[in-house]
Amino acid sequence: MTAGAVAAAASATTGWAQANDRVRVAVIGVGSRGTAHIKEMAPVAGIEVAAVVDPDTNRAEKAASEIKARTGKGPRVESDMRRVFDDKNIDAVTIATTNHWHALTAIWAMQAGKDVYVEKPVSHNIYEGIKLVETARKYNRIAQGGTQRRFWGPWRKAVELLHGGLIGDIYQGNFIFPGNRDSIGFKPNAPVPGWLNWDLWLGPAPMQPYHENLVHYNWHWFWDFGNGELGNNGIHMIDIVRWAMNRKMPSKVYSTGGRFGYKDQGQTPNTQNVVWTYDDGAQIVGQLRGLYTPEPMQWDFWGSKGQMHIAANGKMTVTLGRNKKPEPDITDIPANIDHFANFAEAVRARDRKLLHAEIEETAISTAMCHQGNASYRLQRELKFDPATMKYVGDAEANAFWTRKYRAPYVVPEKV
C-alpha cells in the first residue's frame, strides 16, 4: 500500500465518527477467541460485526451464519484480511488469529486507517511489539490489547490498594498458572484440506508441510506460530504483576523448565519457571505447570509492610507486619468494565487515554514473555537493556528478538 493510499484510507475511515456512533468491526480469526469476540460484542450498543475473516472457510461461514441468525444481517465473509482493510466502511478490527499473525495484522489494519483490538500476546517477538506501538502512534490509531483482567473489578481494586502503599514498597511479585495440558501426540504430514488457505494460515512463518497438530489449536506449542503457555496464559499473569508493581521492562531474566511427562510433537515447555529481575533487585517470579498440581491460579505480592494474596476468583487476602492473622476482607470492589465497550468508547472519542489496556502496556507484558522464552531456549540468564529493548552483547539472544519473515508477510522496519 502506498503512502498516499494509506493517508487516504486513514482520512476516509476516521471521518465516520463525525457522522454516527456506530463502530463497524471486522473480526479476523473466528476460532474460539474470535467467536468469543463476536458474542461479547453482540450486547454492546453501537457495535456492528460487519465482516468476518478466516483462512478456514468453514469457520468463516459458520461465524457469519451465527451472526445472521442473531442479528438478521449477514456480515461480509473473507479469507484474506487485506480485502477488509481496503473497505472504507470498516472502522475497526478485532484480531484473534494465531500468535504469529497478531502484530502484522494490526500493523496492516492501522496503516489502512482502522483501529484495532489485538488478542494477547500482541506480538510473536519483541521487534513486532515495538513496531506495533510505533504504528499506533504514527497513524494515531486506537489500539487495545486483550489483557482483560485490567477491566475486572477485583484486580482493579487490588492494584489501587497496592499503588496506594497498602503493603509498602513491593519487592517481589509471584504467580502460579496451572495449565493442565495433556500430550498432543504425533500427527503425520498430510495434504492441505480444501477448506483451508494454507499460504494465508502460515503467513509470516516459514513454508512447511501441513499436519493436524497445527490446525487449529496446538500451534500454541510450536515456536514458528505460538509462544508456549508463557505467551498463551502467562501473559495475563505477568500483566497483573507488572501493573501492580508499577514496573516496565526488567534488566535480567532466567528461565528453566521442559516438556515433561510424555513425548509428543510439541516444542514448547509444558513446565516453566521464570525469574525477571530489575536493576534495584526487585523480582517477578512465575511458575507455569502443565502437569498435575493441586495449586490453583494465584498471585502473591510482598512489600515492606506486608503481603497480598490474590486468588483465581479475585479474592484478596492481606497480612500486615508480622501478624499471622489476615486483615478484614476487602470490600467496595468496583464493577467489571466491558472491554469492548471501553474500546468502542475510545474509538468514538479518538482518545487512547480512555483505554484500560492500551497497546503499549500489553506490548511490554508480552515482551517479558519473549524474554522468558529466549532464556529457556538458551538455558541461561540473559541481560537486557530496556532503553534499546535488546539483549546486552548477546548475539544468540538477539536472534530471538525478531524472525526471518516469509514475503509478502513481512513486519516492516519502516511502518
Q: What is the DSSP string of 274-319?
A: EEEE-TTS-EEEEEEE-S--SPPSEEEEEESSEEEEEETT--EEEE
Is 11 among the domain residues?
yes
Write down the pLDDT at residue 325.
Answer: 96
Is 43 among the domain residues?
yes
CA distance 361 to 144: 9
Residue 412 exposure: Cα atoms within 13 Å on the Cβ side: 12
| Residue 114: closest CA among 95, 135, 142 | 142
Which CATH number goes with the domain that contains 180? 3.30.360.10
Is 81 among the domain residues?
yes
Could you tell me which residues are beta bridge partners of residue 177?
A: 288
Instruction: For residues 93 and 165, state if they share a domain.
Output: no
Is 393 among the domain residues?
no
User: pLDDT tens track of the chain, all 415 residues?
Assistant: 434 444 444 444 444 443 468 999 999 999 999 999 999 999 999 999 999 999 999 999 999 999 999 999 999 999 999 999 999 999 999 999 999 999 999 999 999 999 999 999 999 999 999 999 999 999 999 999 999 999 999 999 999 999 999 999 999 999 999 999 999 999 999 999 999 999 999 999 999 999 999 999 999 999 999 999 999 999 999 999 999 999 999 999 999 999 999 999 999 999 999 999 999 999 999 999 999 999 999 999 999 999 999 999 999 999 999 999 999 999 999 999 999 999 999 999 999 999 999 999 999 999 999 999 999 999 999 999 999 999 999 999 999 999 999 999 999 999 9
Domain stops at, among 122, 149, 176:
149
Which CATH number goes with the domain that contains 18? 3.40.50.720
Instruction: For residues 128 and 159, state if they share a domain.
Output: no
Instruction: For residues 101 and 230, state if they share a domain.
Output: no
28 φ/ψ angles, rounded to the nearest 5 degrees: -110, 110
Amino acid identity for residue 388 in this structure: T
Scan for cell 525477571, then name that residue.
276
DSSP helix/strand/coil, 29: coil
Instruction: For residues 319 and 174, state if they share a domain.
Output: yes
Instruction: For residues 69 and 122, state if they share a domain.
Output: yes
Asked whether 300 and 164 are in contact (CB, 8 A), the reply is no
Asked whether 192 and 214 are in contact (CB, 8 A), the reply is no
Instruction: For residues 129 and 7, state if they share a domain.
Output: yes
Write down the pLDDT at residue 2.
Answer: 38
Write down the pLDDT at residue 21.
Answer: 87
Range of the domain at 113: 3-149
Cα–Cα distances (Å) from 62 to 10, 72, 123, in that order, read 31, 15, 27
Residue/partner pairs of 101-105 with CB below 8 Å, 24 or more apart: 101/29, 101/203, 101/204, 102/128, 103/128, 103/129, 103/131, 103/132, 103/411, 104/128, 104/203, 104/204, 104/409, 104/410, 104/411, 105/28, 105/81
Domain stops at, among 134, 149, 164:
149
pTM over the 0.85 mark: yes
Q: 213: which DSSP letter?
A: T
**Strand (E) or helix (H) holding 27:** strand 23-28
Instruction: For residues 160 and 68, state if they share a domain.
Output: no
Is 198 among the domain residues?
no
Write down the pLDDT at residue 263.
Answer: 96
Write down the pLDDT at residue 20.
Answer: 63
Scan for cell 484510507, then name that residue.
9
The total number of structural domains that make up the chain: 2
Asked whether 214 and 225 are in contact (CB, 8 A), the reply is yes
Is 139 among the domain residues?
yes
Asked whether 303 and 130 are in contact (CB, 8 A), the reply is no
Instruction: For residues 132 and 162, state if they share a domain.
Output: no
Instruction: For residues 102 and 160, state if they share a domain.
Output: no
Instruction: For residues 255 and 368, state if they share a domain.
Output: yes
Is 344 among the domain residues?
no
Is 378 among the domain residues?
yes
Instruction: For residues 259 and 122, state if they share a domain.
Output: no
Structure-derived torsion over alpha carbons of residues 223, 226, 229, 231, reported in degrees to the nearest 10: 110
Could you tell me which residues are beta bridge partners of residue 175?
A: 286, 299
Instruction: For residues 166 and 138, state if they share a domain.
Output: no
